Amino acid sequence: MTSKIKNKIIRSLFCIVPDEMVYDFSKYLNECFISKSDELINSGVLVGYTLISKNFTKIKDLYTPLQITDDIHGYQRLAWTNSVNQDIGNCIYKNEAGVICVRIAVKKRNYDLFKTFLNLRISDKFVFFEACKQVAEMNEEISVQFISTICQGLKKFLKSDNFYEKFSAIKTLSRLSLKYPKNIEILNKEIEDLLQENSKSLTMFTISTLLKTGNEETIDRLMKYLPEFMTEMDDTYKILGLNALLTLTLKNKSRIDAFIEFIKGCILAKGTLNFKMHIIKILNKFITENKVEEIIFERILNIFIIYLEDSEYFEISSEILGILGQQIYKSKNYKKYVMHIYNRLILEDHKIKIPAVQCIFDLSKKIDVDKEFNFDCGDEILKNFYMNLSLQKFNTPKYQVTDKMLEYLSKYNLQEEKKEEIQEFKICREIQLNDDTSEIFIFLKKVIKLDKIILEFKIENRFEDVQVKNGNLNIKIKDNVNVLNFKNLLPLKNVLLQLEINKEEGINVNGVLDYEICLLDDFNDSENETLTLKPFQITVFDLMDNKYANKGNFNRLIQFYLNCNLVEGTKKILDLINLKILEQSNKKNSNIIVLCGTYFKKNCFIECNIEYTNGCQCYLNIWCDDQDLLEKLCNYFN
């Protein structure tokens, strides 16, 4: 039997073998470790690593006699395969085994070793792409140091004649551009060249990347290529693309005309109700939240009117009529638009007539539609409309009106409608609440909702053969102690616990984890342990909305020193400042980070420069719209 067939058989075998029979078939895995075939060795590495991750710790006995160490340096020499193949230069980073090495380097946080994998873009592209994938999943304070190396490597693959290399490169950049759009900008020319490719999958990834990293010239090119792909994209991707294009346009306002023309094509072309409703919301948001020129305002109103004259969905027409009722009066040519609304009363059915009447009624509060337009009132809806226009305010005192209304409502059994669950408006960065000295780790995510905060604790058991029999997480807030319980936390597993608290700034939280551990499946011999959590606070930064903000009128520079390396110093600052990272760059011994957010519509803008020389010297330049808010933010760094 050839090694290629054995390679597939060994993988398939351990995919279907029941857990209780794994050790019965371990002899076949041992044959892989001592084989002279690279394919079988790679299969042994993959299967063995998977089994150890599933707590089959006795698998280690198969390679312990081979004198392979468990530490990362053993894996650096290709761990298991190193002992059976002396030709290290040819096998050290080979395919699957090399990919496993990359993952272990990240897991062990050996970033010096990880850098060597990133430099293998020529000798081993599989390992290089796996390293890029791992960078996309790292926290920003760690991954920023690798971005320049990745960009240099991917530039070569973007120009490759091999389709799969180009596809892997652009897919990787698409993921990285979510966190580092400014850093990826240097590859825009190479990325834009991919728009000429025949593959639509490749082009879609290219477009999604350029929407996040592009400039003014990019907008013009995207307007040319996007319409062709809009018909093939799912609504989710269309909406994401449209939102990104809007953000890109707002940064480059000289291209607003092109954006409006593109939107016009989208709304008038055939499409789903969900997508078109999103377009209407974008246009409404565009004219209500931004100071647009009169000519742009008129163009958007004309788009609404054109759709009304040849509508595809009555729901969209109703939404447009609602917007026009609030916006038409601002136009100098409002009479022209009102005529189109009156046409809806003549030409349409009741589904459109009702919102049209409401639109005119809303306009009547701003302009005198009764005097300026005379129409036959034979229609029942129009009669009701003109009757409503003639209504006068009550002369009854306010308290008497309230009493009469309550008396009237008491005759009916009115049930309060169920409120929809309030969606998260911010999920803060995950922070670690204990030191690395324990094998039990506790992490926290603060989930900020509109009316409450959910503290989401993740407890990880990093023991390989010890389980947590039961545990009590005691969280103290003010004078109250909340106890969160869990049981049977298996080795290398985690459990999530949630606690709902009031949405208040300045809450101090302390905690202790009491837990009982024992050997796997041996409950008779157990020990009790206690782990104290690092105290934390609900800060103004936590409650800020992750929105783009400009520099305010008030400014202050803060300087302080952190006795740690550059990565740890950056992490400490980002753990405190839970804001949107606008820009980030890394030099040899420094990190520069720009963050922003809003707090009750007050802008906050922070430029952070962290320089490392035997410790981190930190310079934070903070801008705010409000002097009191600036003072409060600065106090957090004292």
The yes-or-no verdict on residue 70 having pLDDT over 60 is: no
pLDDT of residue 23: 80
pLDDT of residue 417: 42
What is the DSSP secondary structure assignment for residue 481, as one 8-state letter?
Answer: E
The yes-or-no verdict on residue 40 having pLDDT over 80 is: no
The yes-or-no verdict on residue 463 having pLDDT over 80 is: yes
Are 437 and 521 contained in the same domain? yes
Q: Which of 538, 568, 589 is the last residue of a domain?
A: 538
- pLDDT > 90: percent of the chain: 12
pLDDT per position as a tens digit, 114-150 = 888 887 765 678 888 888 888 888 887 788 888 888 8
Are 439 and 530 contained in the same domain? yes
Q: State how far the Cα of 306 lies from the Cα of 309, in Å rounded to an integer.
A: 5
Q: Is 406 inside any structural domain?
A: no
The yes-or-no verdict on residue 100 having pLDDT over 90 is: no
Q: Which whole-number Å values give the CA distances from 255 to 223, 225, 250, 261, in the listed order?
A: 10, 16, 8, 10
pLDDT of residue 71: 37
pLDDT per position as a tens digit, 362-419 = 888 777 665 555 554 445 555 555 555 554 444 444 444 455 555 555 554 444 444 4
Q: Which of 538, 557, 581 is the last residue of a domain?
A: 538
What backbone phi and psi angles, to 5 degrees, belong to 198? -80, -25
Q: Is 593 inside any structural domain?
A: yes
Q: For residues 148-165, b (16+ Cβ closer than 10 Å) or e, as one string?
A: ebbbebbbebbeeeeeeb
What would the mean pLDDT of 65-94 be, rounded to a whole number?
Answer: 38
CATH number at residue 600: 3.30.310.10
Query: What is the number of other CB atoms lying within 10 angstroms of the CB of residue 428?
Result: 22
pLDDT per position as a tens digit, 154-203 = 888 888 888 888 888 998 998 888 888 888 888 888 888 887 777 777 87
Question: Which are the contacts of 340, defined by CB distance < 8 A and separation ≥ 6?
Answer: 305, 308, 309
The yes-or-no verdict on residue 327 having pLDDT over 80 is: yes
Q: Which of 538, 561, 586 is the last residue of a domain?
A: 538
Tokens (6 digits) for 49: 């690593």
Residue 458's domain spans which residues? 426-538
Q: Is 560 inside any structural domain?
A: yes
Are 534 and 603 contained in the same domain? no
pLDDT of residue 410: 56
Residue with tokens 């020499």: 77
Whole-prediction pTM: 0.53
What would the mean pLDDT of 454-481 be, rounded to a whole number?
Answer: 90
The region of weakest confidence among 16-25, 88-97, 366-375, 553-562 is 88-97
Are 432 and 479 contained in the same domain? yes
Cβ–Cβ < 8 Å for 393, 360 = no
Angle at 612 between CA 606 and CA 613, to 5 degrees: 145
Are 526 and 444 contained in the same domain? yes
The region of weakest confidence among 138-147, 249-258, 560-569 is 249-258
Are 532 and 441 contained in the same domain? yes
Are 524 and 591 contained in the same domain? no
The yes-or-no verdict on residue 429 having pLDDT over 80 is: yes
Tokens (6 digits) for 577: 């400042």
Q: Is 331 inside any structural domain?
A: no
Q: Is 493 inside any structural domain?
A: yes
- Highest-scoring range by mean pLDDT, 159-168, 237-246, 542-551, 583-592: 159-168
pLDDT of residue 160: 86
**DSSP state letters, 408-458:** HHTTS-PPPPPPPPPPPSEEPPPEE-S-TTSSEEEEEEEEE-SSEEEEEEE
- Highest-scoring range by mean pLDDT, 63-72, 152-161, 334-343, 348-357: 152-161
E-strand spans in 156-308? none
Tokens (6 digits) for 385: 């409309």
Are 545 and 627 contained in the same domain? yes
The yes-or-no verdict on residue 570 having pLDDT over 60 is: yes
Query: What is the number of other CB atoms lying within 10 angstroms of the CB of residue 203?
Result: 19
Are 459 and 510 contained in the same domain? yes
- Report the DSSP pairing between strands 466-477 and 508-519: antiparallel
Give the residue among 217, 228, 293 at the shortest CA–CA distance from 255. 217
Q: How many domains, the chain? A: 2
3 state SS of 195 = helix
Q: Is 52 inside any structural domain?
A: no
The yes-or-no verdict on residue 511 having pLDDT over 90 is: yes
The model's confidence at residue 420, banded by pLDDT at 50, 70 and 90, is: very low
Are 465 and 516 contained in the same domain? yes
Q: Is 601 inside any structural domain?
A: yes
pLDDT of residue 77: 35
pLDDT of residue 445: 92
Are 623 and 579 contained in the same domain? yes
- pLDDT > 70: percent of the chain: 79
What would the mean pLDDT of 305-330 be, rounded to a whole number?
Answer: 83
Q: Is 259 inside any structural domain?
A: no
The yes-or-no verdict on residue 51 having pLDDT over 70 is: yes
Cβ–Cβ < 8 Å for 99, 132 = no
Tokens (6 digits) for 172: 């990787």
The region of weakest confidence among 90-104, 211-225, 528-542, 567-581 is 90-104
The yes-or-no verdict on residue 518 having pLDDT over 70 is: yes
Are 477 and 492 contained in the same domain? yes
In this predicted model, which residue has the larger pLDDT, 530 or 13? 530
Cβ–Cβ < 8 Å for 213, 185 = yes
Q: Which whole-number Å values give the CA distances from 535 to 136, 445, 498, 538, 567, in the listed order?
A: 30, 14, 17, 11, 22
What would the mean pLDDT of 621-638 be, rounded to a whole number?
Answer: 88
What would the mean pLDDT of 220-244 be, rounded to a whole number?
Answer: 71
CATH number at residue 522: 2.60.40.1480
Q: For residues 463-488, b (16+ Cβ closer than 10 Å) or e, as one string?
A: beebbbbebebebebeeeeeebebee
